[in-house]
Amino acid sequence: MFVWQNFVNKVCKSEICNFAKAKLCPRSHECSGMVISMKIDTIAAIATAISDAGIGIIRVSGEEAVSIVQKIYQNKEKKNVLDQYASHTIHYGFIMEEDGTVLDEVMVSVMKAPYSYTMEDTVEINCHGGALMMKKILMAVIHAGARMAEPGEFTKRAFLNGRIDLSKAEAVMDIIHAKNEFALKTSVKQLRGSVYDKVKELRDQILYEIAFIESALDDPEHISLEGYEEKLSNQVFSIMEELEKLLVSADDGRILKEGIRTVIVGRPNVGKSSLLNLLMGQERAIVTDIAGTTRDALEETIRFGDITLHITDTAGIRDTEDVVEKIGVERAKKISEDADLILYVIDSSEVLDKNDEAILKLIEGKKTIILLNKSDLSEVTNQKAIEDLYQKVFDYDGQFLTDKADSVSLLRISAKEKEGLDALRAQIEDYFFHGKIMSENELYITNVRHKEAILEAVESMRRVRQSLENHMPEDFYSIDLMGAYASLGKILGEEVGEDLVNKIFSEFCMGK
């Protein structure tokens, strides 16, 4: 069967490769940017997490899936008869080594094309868990003639064979590359189709309006557009609102999927590196008592409870004559600009100075949590002092921390005594997930392509409103309604463009 003979793909340069981590990546790390050709071969991979769980599954898909596994599988009568089993049946037996010894006791299920996930012949070997055993069995399958699957290749085949649409295929890719549990949950949700359903619902509403206008154009005698402008205007407004909600969720979704870009700032030696180490649970940054020891920004990705933080520790910000350190400070400023969250560490045992004024200016408008560190020592700088500083720096006439509670807050911690972490986590959740991170009903758009498509749709709808305000004839706003309809179709995989197909294929080839 032809699948994608000699189809040439560019391998993308993503760093995340489950196979490489498991030291199973067939081409290790040399493949970055390399051009490979895909053949109509049979592929195999470990389908379950590589861990010491009880049961593991090795999936084999392709024209020769059955004959390949047949070479290494024997039923309890010691016969190699896998090809005689009916589709969608499961069989007890053994995976044998070349020398005839039993490798593992397994259950093998056979799913014949086209009734499998990939729509190809598929065999799944349910073996005893444990990374080593799974690896051994996979190697046996490879040895028998299969090729190691690329990450996401089963999904790619499922997509190419028409089993799933683009939206679902992308969600699967997201699962493969999910960096934390929440990202995973969102991906699973997207796979189940909640985003799909919402977008489809909005697209159908647009289609209804298009159809109505068209019917009125065709049959003005029976279908009148009198008073329709106002009705459409309301409808457009409500669709735009829904789309914008999805857009907001796109930002939340990115944060869920990719983590929060967090920067730790503060004067030298206030305890920034200690805080980072505390969050990391281990010593990493150089911690000394000499101001200015952290010369360069350190980047770390950590799991803080359910949230992923990409934390950058910066050189302490202060006026400095030291050129090397100056570079660190410049970088800190740059990094702060791109950050989602600022953790501003203040040594509560010391008074604020003009460096703190500079920092406040630097982080203006950013979501900020001010951490009054060293709460174990006697307090010299308190909330009042910080309020005063804000008033002075921004010429602000009021209680800054109270008025801007949605973006600036203050917590007392002791990095040394490991106190205040729970409050910090609660505050981050409150900022980024409106305290509802666990909600099952939230829809998150996590895909950049989806976000772009929604942006396009919103833009089209805005034009419709403008046409309505200018009292343009109805066939004009239907052009932009069509535009919005087409944009949303991209998310559902119902608008197939060549560029899109190419783009998706390059994404499919993530990994290595």
Partner 1 sequence: MAELREVCDICVVGAGHAGCEAALACARLGFETVIFTVSVDSIALMPCNPNVGGTSKGHLVREIDALGGEMGKNIDKTFIQSKMLNSSKGPAVHSLRAQADKAEYSRAMRKVLENQEHLTIKQAEVCELLVEETAETSEFSQRDKKIVGVKTFTGTVYECKAVILCTGTYLKARCLCGEAITYTGPNGLQAANHLTDSLLSLGIEMRRFKTGTPARMDRRSLDFSKMEEQFGDERVIPFSFSTDPDEVQIDQISCYLTYTNEKTHDIIRANLDRSPIYAGIIEGTGPRYCPSIEDKVVKFSDKDRHQVFIEPEGLHTNEMYVSGMSSSLPEDVQLAMYRTVPGLEHCKIVRNAYAIEYDCIDPKQLYPTLEFKAIKGLFSGGQFNGSSGYEEAAAQGLIAGINASLFLQGREQIVLDRSQAYIGVLIDDLVTKENFEPYRMMTSRAEYRLLLRQDNADLRLRQIGYEVGLVSEETYQAVLRKKEMIETEIARLKNTIVGASAKIQDFLMRHDSAPLKTGASLAELICRPELTYEMLSEIDTERKPLPTDVKEQVEIEVKYEGYIDRQLKQVEHYKKMEKRKIPADLDYNEIGSLRLEARQKLIAYQPISVGQASRISGVSPADISVLLVYLESHRGKETKKG
* Interacting residues toward partner 1 by CB under 8 A: 1-8, 119, 159-162, 164-166, 214-215, 217-222, 463, 470-476, 479-480, 482-483, 486, 493-498, 501, 505
In the complex with partner 1, which residue's Cβ is closer, 30 or 221?
221
Tokens for 491, please give them.
């998310």
Please state the closest distance from residue 231 (CB atom) to partner 1, in A. Answer: 18
Which residue, 43 or 360, is less far from partner 1 as judged by CB? 43
Q: CB 164 → partner 1: shortest distance, Å?
A: 8
Nearest distance, CB of residue 474 and partner 1, angstroms: 7
CB 348 within 8 A of CB 420: no
Minimum CB distance to partner 1 smaller for 167 or for 312: 167
Residue 136 amino acid letter? K
Q: How far is the CB of 253 from partner 1 (least distance, A)?
A: 24
Q: Which residues of 479-501 are buried (b: 16+ CB within 10 A; e: fewer)?
A: ebbebbbbbbbbbbbeeeeeeee
- CB of 91 or CB of 465, closer to partner 1: 465
CB of 225 to partner 1, least distance (A): 9
Q: Minimal distance in Å, beta carbon 162 to partner 1?
A: 4
Are the CB atoms for 391 and 382 separated by under 8 Å?
A: no
Greatest pairwise CA separation for the chain in angstroms? 87
The string of DSSP letters for 244-282 reads HHHHHHHHHHHHHHH-EEEEEE-STTSSHHHHHHHHHTS
Residue closer to partner 1, measured from CB, 384 or 471: 471
Closest to partner 1 by CB, 70 vs 478, is 478
CB of 116 to partner 1, least distance (A): 13
Angle CA(414)–CA(417)–CA(419) in degrees, nearest 5? 55
24/206 with CB nearer partner 1:
206
Residue 505, CA distances (Å) to 13, 154, 495, 509 in order: 14, 13, 16, 6
Q: Compute CA 150 distance to the chain's CA centroid, rounded to the nearest angstrom.
A: 19
Phi, psi angle pair for 344, to nearest 5°: -105, 110
Least spacing, CB of residue 219 vs partner 1, in Å: 8
- Of 164 and 341, CB closest to partner 1: 164
State how far the Cα of 359 lies from the Cα of 368, in Å rounded to an integer. 11
Q: Which two tokens stand for residue 468?
A: 């309505």
